[in-house]
Chains A and B, each alone.
Chain A
Amino acid sequence: MRQNHSTKFLKPHNNNKEMKTRFSSSTHQLLFIICCLLFASFCLPAQAQDQHTRREVKRIAARKGGKTITLNLVDNNDRGPLIMANCQLKPLGAYAATNLDGIATLENIPDGEWTIEVTYVGYETLTRKIVMQGEDVSLTLSMEPLTLELHNVEVVAKQSASGEATASVIGRQAIDHIQAFSLDDIMQLVPGADMKVTNLTSQSNVQIRTLVNDNTNAFGASIVVDGVPMSNNGAMTQGGFSSTAFVGTDTRQISADDIESVEVVRGIPSAEYGDLTSGLVVVHSKVGVTPWQVKAKVNPSGQNYSVGKGLHVGKWGTVNFNLDYAQAWGDPRQKTRSFDRYSGSIGWSVDPSRRFNMTTKVRFNLGKDWNGNDPDAIDDGTFSSAKNQTLSLTHNGKLSLGLPFSRSLTYTIGLSLNTSKSRQSSIVTNSTGLLPILTARETGYYNVPWMTSSYAASGGTTSTPGNVYVKVGNNFFVKVGPTRQSFKMGMDYHYDWNNGIGYYNDDEAHPLRPNSSGRPRSFKDIPGVHQFNAFAEDNFTWDINKVNKLKLQAGLRFTSFQMFKDEATYAFSPRFNASFTATRWLDIRAGFGLNSKTPGMDYLYPDKKYTDRVAANYMPQDNPAGQTIVYHTNVYEVERTKGLKNATNYKTEFGFDIKLPDGRRMSILAYYDKTPGGFSSATEYITYTASFYDTSAGLMPVAGGATLIDYSNPARIDTVFATTGRVGNNSVSVNKGIELDWDLGKIKPLQTSVYLTGAYMESKRWSKDMNSQNPTSYPARYSLANTVPFKIVYPSEMNSTTYRKFSTTLRLVTHIPALKMVASLAGQAIFYNYYHSEVPAMDPIAWIDTDLSYHEITSAMLADDSYTIKGVALKNQRKSGTENEPTKSPVTWLVSGRLTKELGRIGGFSFYANNLLYHEPWKSTSKSGTLTQQNSGSFSFGVEIYFNL
């Protein structure tokens, strides 16, 4: 209960020991392990190369007692071997990669009918049915390079199969067709997402299935690049909890040109993935042999150039590299913002032995934001800039053991070292003519300096989060009668730290933020965070008969965070996805799952809470020497947020996949996502006393000299309410809706495919934090003293905001293989856009006195119009009235057109125009007669040209 909170201060917590051991012990050990594994990996290839011959293929195929599938993978054009291609046997999950001769072997395969799926960078995904009947199978498969000459091109997002996590898979051709600069642009292909203009000049995070920017949703959107999650647990913000601060991963830093495919999981993800709430974005970068590719993209607000190549280095496997540069400046008429991105990656994939395949990738990314005066404006020296550089490593290994309960062992190692430096130079506004410079870090009374005019200041924040990630997994499968089960299990460990110095001023006498949110805090002092997870999952398939089939994905994930510490959090997250093929044309799908996001360092270890108030303010104009300002600073050492839990998201889905003739399909899915414990500030009061001195008591003016203060003789002793700055799980968000993803087939005479995606979405948010406020209409003496007589408490969870939207996107994709050309026209209509802020009538339920005692307010008190609390009329605290009228925006639509044309084998070009018809009408909402421009700023165009050398 609130009344139990003591008014005493906590002693500062000494983290020094923890600081010293934080990085040195665990991180160094992990780095050592990583180095050993890498060293071993480099040594192995030399021992193994001689074994890679075609003769061995035959030997493997003829192994005694084994039922082996041997695949020989070749390019359909030059018949050359394709090395390091991924071969997966579905639904068993057996996996192999082709060796230097293009050969892959899948061993100990039980009898049955299976589907082999082969993927390779730059080639069309190949699927083939295989029937095993007690004999080894040897196949030569030829893959087609991706080209617009093929009859199948995918320039829209593709829905995942029933029985798996609901996801949109976006391939390379789709990424090329939308001319994406970064992952942010790719996200617009997801059902329900708005078509938008490329804008690299502001940070962008992933918001899944929500209509409102939600910090927990963004913080809990996991982006996994080549098996390693981009952790944001070490990111820190200055000051206390902010619901508007940027959280999550900045998608601008992921260059689109190095991506092979993206899978956006909106539904219940596999138990293999964790530390998330709203969803998951899985990014696969390019691995394998590719031609030299040089790309240039230009539009009025930015440009992007890249060069990439995947080459075969003999017995050393394949090496890929990609260099990318992007520049953006937002509005070209006003160059007040700019963004530069330099990124590069080098990857190496090799089979050290027949059973061992590994891929290593090192990435570098440097993003530079700048925001300042237009070159034509007066340069007053003000600007803000941010430099964000990341060096990361991902290493994935797969060991095919072929044992009954360990078909393959996988491991992943990730390391990410980031440095974010923001700098700001500004003139600090001093509109009141008196700006105290508050720098106290301990509780007490301080004579403070002050400024009477605005002043130039500069400083910044340096944050250096780092992350180590290690994961091991095991896969095996079992076939019993008509059922097949593919199991995977594993565990992973994350460690996040931040060695940044945090916020700093170049000149402490002229601070950038001369108030309580500007107190420096070294991020080095914050303990690193450990996370250990384990998971197990069964992918169960039951072919009941020729038609009916049941697929079930059942998993459980265990998450532990800061294990064995007071602030530790634990979570079990069961997850289920199921589908039942009821008829040949109908799959019924359903799912339920829990996702859990750990708080991260920022929420778990909030900054100290500083509360400053004037203790004396004496500014005689005839005696400058006597001018004095004294502040009382109260420093509350926020406890490590004990009781803070993971933000847990509950997802429920139900839908139908209808398969129609000629490959057409209609998918309708209803979802309900609830996050009842999202991260937010938690109201928790403390009170303390602070004295005030004036010339009636305490302050003793001295003619021509400094004013003396008798601290033992205050004119007034104020009891002050302050909040502790705690972070809690008080934000509640519910997202529900219906998603449509329809492939309406091809109009053959026009060679045009029709796709319709869309969503009806509703996002509702409210807070379950204690709803307390200052009372209204209390005597003016409290305002003069800047205190409140008490806090008044209203029912919680009554105020809410609701957003609703129904939008559809119709895409017409005309593909003419003979011309090597694909053109698409996308029309997006937002039929319904609704916002409602509900503020119902409320009566207070309690009041909190200055001794923090909690007093309930009864209905009898409320009925008594003359009832007062400490001289304040209770009737004035009742809130009666009408609801705010909902705002409904008018129907808006826009059309965009895109064209991609290949020029033989040497390259091609693309062109797009967004809001092709320049439809930017002025319309008013249902609530306001004011006309506002719709689709404002949505008109844009751009061109891409690329060469394959």
Chain B
Amino acid sequence: MKISSLISAALSIAAVLGLSSCLSSDDQTQPITVYVTVQDPSGLTGVTGGQPVSLISTTGYSYTATTDGSGTATFTDVIPDIYNISTSWSITSDQYMAATGETVQHGTYVLSGALASQVLVADATRITLSTNCARKQSVLLSKVYYAGCKDNNNKNYLAGRFIELYNNSDEEVDIAGMYLCLMESGSTPAYVISTQTDYIYIKQVFQFPSEGNHILSPGEHIVITNSAVDHRVNASEDFDESAADFECKSNAANAPVNNPATPAMILVWTAFTGIPNMNLVQSGPCGIALIETDENPAEWEPVYADGKSTGTQQLKAPAKYVVDGVDILRYRTDGTVDVSTKRFYDYIDAGYTNITAVSGYTGEVVYRVVESTTDDGRAVLKDTNYSVDDWACTTDIEIGEYK
């Protein structure tokens, strides 16, 4: 062998060894420790401590820890990933009065906070989680079927979509006069929630009439639909809504069948000429808000999307009147949900829910999950203002069914 060849081989071996020496077992992924400190909500003091905090990653890792006396929850051996962080607990009205000094009506108050898509890769990461406080509502949005399905010829079918409300309290509630609102649903939000917190933009407002089934007993539900008929005839996967409580009626040329026997929701305002019934978007976004106010929503200011002078006008609604809201976001082709398109502030819904199809037509229903069951068998639905936890999605649920 020539000397030059020997030198060349030696250099090669040295190079390989040199590169190998750069590798270290420390470069492997290491579990980390994360500290999450829960803050008291604005105006309340001394309510933190002993609350459960959860970390849920988009790839399936899940951890729960409880806050200590200083409000900090410590998570050890956490696999680095992108996590949604949330906490939620409830206090009684007595605890609320003690924390605020205010005198309030009897009820339950929910404290919750959430942070979406937090990149947790560094050890000893410290996160501060702010929280909001809201009175636990008696009437809740409990199901939204906006996806539509395929009919018996495997063609798109949308007529059977509905919204369900549920009386989650132990008292009778009269919903007459309340407003069911559909949030604006452009692919780009018409407003950015970080720039304002007082208003939401809505595209349609319907009022519950004082006829029909407007008084809900504890645990009773009502269904609002565009077409109160048995849709299983056309689409076997769909629902029998012939017993729906209210119908958003339309005489437009492309409207579904209206059932004369079903009381009509009162159309107060619509952003679309010729669409007087619910304009649910089968692919999302499809946020819904339940509003209670003495004001006349028809007199609220119609506005274009921020920074636009054309397009569709929405109604600028004071967010303070929202009784319950669920942020329903679009599912993307890459299997994620674009949380940057959220429409609700954290004190209304700090999370979101969604179907798991990009275009809809899957028969999926998003529904509020059962938190507990009372002694008399009444389901109590989860209401933490964090829909990621409160809501789920399925194709296997019926109207009036809770699980």
Chain B contacts for A613, CB-based, 8 A: 253
Partner of A433, one of B252, B257, B307: B257
Of the stretches A474-482, A525-533, A537-545, A874-882, the one at the interface is A874-882
Q: Knowing A431-B148, A783-B273 touch, does A614 contact B253 (C-beta < 8 A)?
A: yes
Considering residues B159, B250, B273, which has the most beta carbons from chain A within 10 angstroms of its beta carbon? Answer: B273
Stretch at the interface among A256-264, A288-296, A561-569, A617-625: A617-625
Chain A residues 31 to 68 lying within 8 A of chain B, measured CB to CB, are none
Minimum C-beta distance from B243 to chain A (A): 10
**Is A432 engaged at the interface, CB distance under 8 Å to the other chain?**
yes
Residue A695 is within 8 A (CB to CB) of chain B in the complex: yes
Q: Are the C-beta atoms of A783 and B275 separated by less than 8 Å?
A: yes
Minimum CB–CB distance for A619 against chain B, Å: 5
Provided the pairs A433-B256, A454-B153 are in contact, do residues A881 and B307 lie with their beta carbons within 8 angstroms?
A: yes
User: A455: CB under 8 A from chain B?
Assistant: yes
Is B251 part of the contact surface with A, judged by Cβ < 8 Å?
yes
| Chain A minimum-CB-distance residue to B228 | A621
| B268 part of interface (Cβ distance < 8 Å) | yes
* Per-residue contact bits, chain B 254-272, to A (CB 8 Å; 1 contact, 0 not): 1111111100000111101
Report the separation of the CA atoms of residues A273 and B309 in the bound assembly, to the nearest whole angstrom.
46
Q: Tell me which residues across on chain B come within 8 A of A783, comparing CB atoms.
A: 267, 270, 272-276
- Name the contact of B251 in the complex, choosing from A380, A455, A786 (C-beta under 8 A): A786
Contact assessment for B253 and A433 in the assembled complex, using a CB-CB cutoff below 8 Å = no
B260 x A620 contact (CB < 8 A): yes
Instruction: Verify if A779 is at the interface (C-beta below 8 Å from B).
Output: yes
Residues of A with C-beta under 8 A to B153: 380, 427, 453-456
Given that A429-B156, A453-B152, A780-B268 are known contacts, is A841 also in contact with B274, CB under 8 Å in the complex? no
CA distance A405 to B257 in the complex (A): 78
Is A784 interfacial (CB 8 A cutoff)? yes
Scoring A residues 520 to 559 as 1 if CB is less than 8 Å from chain B, else 0, what string do you get?
A: 0000000000000000000000000000000000000000
**Alpha-carbon distance A786/B254, docked complex (angstroms):** 11
Q: Do the beta carbons of B304 and A881 come within 8 Å of each other?
A: yes
Cβ-based interface call for A415 (8 A): no
How many residues of B are counted as interface, with CB atoms below 8 angstroms from the partner's CB atoms?
49
Interface segment among B59-67, B229-237, B392-400: the answer is B229-237
Whether B155 pairs with A454 at a CB distance below 8 angstroms is yes
Q: Are A431 and B273 closer than 8 Å at their CB atoms?
A: no
CA distance A400 to B302 in the complex (A): 77
| Most chain B beta-carbon contacts within 10 A, residue among A427, A776, A779 | A776
Q: What chain B residues lie within 8 Å of A692 (beta carbons)?
A: 251
Known contacts A433-B157, A621-B259, A881-B308, A776 near B302 by CB under 8 Å = yes
| Pair A612/B259 contact, Cβ less than 8 Å | no
Q: Which residues of A sit under 8 angstroms from B310, Cβ to Cβ?
A: 839, 879, 881
CB distance from A538 to the nearest CB of B (A): 52
| A378 (CB) vs chain B CBs: closest residue | B154
User: Are A431 and B260 neighbours in the complex by a CB distance under 8 Å?
Assistant: no
Task: Check A430/B308 contact, CB under 8 A, given A779-B298, A783-B270.
Answer: no
**Chain B residue, CB-CB nearest to A841:** B309
In A579-636, the 8 Å CB interface with B consists of: 612-614, 617-622
B337 to chain A, nearest CB (A): 16
With A783-B276, A839-B309 in contact, do A434 and B257 touch (Cβ < 8 Å)?
Answer: yes
In the complex, B131 has a CB within 8 A of chain A: no
Do residues A784 and B276 form an inter-chain contact, with CB atoms below 8 A? Answer: yes
Contact across chains for B159 and A431 when beta carbons are under 8 A apart: yes
- Residues of B contacting A456 in the complex (Cβ-Cβ under 8 angstroms): 153
Q: Which residues of A contact B276 (CB under 8 A)?
A: 780, 783-784, 786
**A472 interface hit (Cβ, 8 Å):** no
B255, A434: Cβ atoms under 8 Å? yes
Kindly report which residue of chain B lies nearest to residue A883, judged by CB atoms: B309
Closest to A876 in B: B302
- CB neighbours (8 Å) of B157 from chain A are 430-431, 433, 454
B242 at the interface (CB under 8 A from A): yes
Taking a contact as CB atoms under 8 Å apart, the answer to whether A431 and B155 are in contact is yes
| Cα distance, A432 to B261, chains bound together (Å) | 19
Judged by a CB distance under 8 angstroms, whether B350 is at the interface is: no
Q: Are A880 and B257 in contact (CB under 8 A)?
A: no
A788 adjacent to chain B (CB < 8 Å): yes
Chain B residues, CB < 8 A from A866? none
- Judged by a CB distance under 8 angstroms, whether B313 is at the interface is yes
Closest to A842 in B: B309
Q: Digit string of B153-165 for contact with A (CB within 8 Å is 1, else 0)?
A: 1111111100000
Q: Is A142 an interface residue (CB 8 A)?
A: no
Please judge, given known A-B contacts A622-B261, A780-B267, whether A882 and B274 are in contact too, CB under 8 Å. Answer: no
Q: Which of B203-251 contact A (CB under 8 A)?
A: 227-231, 233-235, 242, 250-251
What is the CB-to-nearest-CB distance from A438 to chain B, in angstroms, rounded to a whole number?
9
Q: Which residues of A contact B228 (CB under 8 A)?
A: 621
| Known contacts A618-B260, A882-B309; A431/B251 CB under 8 A | no
- Name the residue among B227, B235, B242, B256 with the largest chain A CB count within 10 angstroms: B256
A201-227 interface with B by 8 A CB criterion: none
Known: A427-B155, A454-B153. A784 touches B251 (CB 8 A): yes
Q: Is A745 engaged at the interface, CB distance under 8 Å to the other chain?
A: no
For residue B68, CB closer than 8 A to chain A, the reply is no
How many whole Å from A460's CB to the nearest CB in chain B? Answer: 21
Tell me if A774 is interfacial: C-beta within 8 Å of chain B.
yes
In the complex, chain B residues 287-326 whose Cβ is within 8 Å of any chain A Cβ: 298, 302, 304, 307-310, 313
Please indicate the chain B residues that have their CB under 8 angstroms from the CB of A429 in the complex: 155-156
How many angstroms between the C-alpha atoms of A839 and B298 in the bound complex?
Answer: 28
The reply to whether B251 and A430 form a contact with Cβ atoms under 8 Å apart is no
Q: Which residues of B are found within 8 Å of A785, using beta-carbon distances?
A: 251
B389 within 8 A of A: no
Contact of B313 with A380 in the complex, beta carbons under 8 Å = no
> A436: CB under 8 A from chain B?
yes
Assess whether B81 is interfacial by the CB under 8 Å rule: no
A244 / chain B contacts, CB cutoff of 8 Å: none
Q: Would A774 and B273 count as touching, CB distance under 8 A?
A: yes
Q: How far is the CA of A621 from the CA of B310 in the complex (A)?
A: 42
Whether B155 and A777, one on each chain, are in contact in the complex, defined by CB atoms closer than 8 angstroms, is: no
Complex contact B298–A780 (CB within 8 A): yes
**A627, closest chain B residue (CB):** B257
Distance between Cα atoms of A851 and B325 in the complex (Å): 44
Closest chain B residue, CB of each to CB of A779: B298
Tell me, in angstroms, the Cα distance from A621 to B153 when the chains sit together.
Answer: 23
Is A433 a contact of B155 with CB atoms below 8 Å? Answer: no
Select one of B160, B234, B267, B313 contacting A453, CB under 8 A: B234
B239 vs chain A, min Cβ distance (A): 12
User: Which of chain A's residues 307-346 have a Cβ closer than 8 Å to chain B?
Assistant: none
Does the CB pair A777–B302 fall under 8 Å?
Answer: yes
For residue A768, give the distance in angstroms from its CB to the closest CB of chain B. 19
CA distance A453 to B270 in the complex (A): 27
Mark each residue of chain A from 805 to 849: 1 if its CB lies under 8 Å from any CB of chain B, else 0.
000000000000000000000000000000000010110000000
Give Cα A142 to B204, complex, Å: 83
Per-residue CB contact flags for chain B residues 64-87 toward chain A (1 = under 8 Å, else 0) read 000000000000000000000000
Query: Given the complex of chains A and B, what is the CA–CA distance between A651 and B41 in angstroms?
Result: 71
User: What's the nearest-Cβ distance from chain B to residue A186, in Å?
Assistant: 38
A contact residues around B255 at 8 Å (CB): 432, 434, 614, 617
On whether the beta carbons of A614 and B309 are closer than 8 Å, the reply is no
Contact B254 A430 (CB under 8 A): no
Taking the complex as formed, is B151 at the interface, i.e. its CB lies under 8 A from any CB of chain A? yes
Please determine whether A619 and B258 come into contact, CB atoms closer than 8 angstroms. Answer: yes
Going nearest first, the 7 A-B pairs with the smallest beta carbon separation are A881-B309, A433-B159, A454-B155, A777-B302, A432-B256, A453-B234, A431-B158
* Chain A residues within CB distance 8 Å of chain B: 380, 427, 429-434, 436, 452-456, 515, 612-614, 617-622, 692, 695, 774, 776-777, 779-780, 782-786, 788, 839, 841-842, 876, 879-882
A-B contact pairs, 25 of them (CB 8 A): A427-B153, A431-B148, A431-B156, A431-B159, A433-B157, A433-B159, A433-B227, A433-B231, A452-B233, A453-B152, A453-B153, A454-B157, A614-B255, A620-B259, A620-B261, A695-B260, A774-B273, A776-B313, A782-B273, A783-B270, A784-B250, A784-B267, A784-B276, A786-B274, A881-B310
